[in-house]
Chains A and B, each alone.
Chain A
Amino acid sequence: MGLARLPGRLGVKIACTVNGVAREAEGVWEGESLLYVLRERFGLYGSKNACEQGECGSCSVFLDGVLACACLVLGGQADGRAIVTVEGLARPQELHPVQQAFLEAGAVQCGFCTPGLVVATHDLLQRVRRPSEAQIREALAGNICRCTGYAKIIDAVNLAAGLVERSPRTRAAGSEFVGKGQ
Chain B
Amino acid sequence: MEFLQPSSLHEALEMKAAHPEAVPIAGGTDVMVEINLDHRRPETVMDVTRVRELAEWATEDGFVRIGAGVTYTRLVDELGDRMPGLAMASRTVGSPQIRNRGTVGGNLGTASPAGDALPPLLAAGATVELASKSGTRRVDVREFFTGPKRNAARKDELITAFLVAPAAGPETFSKVGTRNAMVIAVCSFALALDAARRRVGTGIGSAGPTPLAASDAERFIAGELDWEGRKPPADAAVRRFGELVAAAAKPIDDVRGTAAYRRHALAVMARRSLEWAWHDYRVGWA
A residues in contact (CB < 8 Å) with B = 1-3, 12, 29-31, 33, 52-55, 57, 60, 66-69, 71-74, 76-77, 79, 120, 123, 138-139, 141-143
In this assembly, does B11 line the interface, its C-beta being within 8 Å of a C-beta of chain A? yes
Give the complex CA separation of A105 and B58 in angstroms: 46
B residues in contact (CB < 8 Å) with A = 1-6, 11, 15, 25, 27-29, 32-33, 35-37, 41-42, 45, 47, 49, 94-98, 100-101, 179-182
Residues on A with C-beta less than 8 A from B15 are 1
Query: Given contacts A138-B181, A142-B181, are A72 and B95 in contact (CB under 8 A)?
Result: no
Residue among A3, A123, A142, A143 with the highest chain B CB neighbour number at 10 A: A142
How many whole Å from A143's CB to the nearest CB in chain B? 8
Contacting pair A68 B180 (CB below 8 A): no
How many whole Å from B122's CB to the nearest CB in chain A? 25
Give the complex CA separation of A52 and B28 in angstroms: 11
Contacting pair A2 B95 (CB below 8 A): no
How many whole Å from B242's CB to the nearest CB in chain A? 30
Query: Given contacts A30-B2, A67-B96, A77-B25, are A52 and B181 in contact (CB under 8 A)?
Result: no
Contacting pair A53 B37 (CB below 8 A): yes
Contacting pair B5 A2 (CB below 8 A): yes
Contacting pair A30 B29 (CB below 8 A): no
Residue among A30, A31, A60, A120 with the highest chain B CB neighbour number at 10 A: A31
How many whole Å from A10's CB to the nearest CB in chain B? 9
Identify the closest chain A residue to B14 (Cβ): A1
Give the complex CA separation of A131 and B42 in angstroms: 42
How many whole Å from B217's CB to the nearest CB in chain A? 32
Give the complex CA separation of A68 and B4 in angstroms: 22
Contacting pair B95 A33 (CB below 8 A): no
Give the complex CA separation of A3 and B45 in angstroms: 12
Identify the closest chain B residue to A66 (Cβ): B100
Within 8 Å by CB of A72, from B11, B33, B181, lies B33
Give the complex CA separation of A60 and B49 in angstroms: 19
Within 8 Å by CB of B182, from A66, A67, A142, lies A142
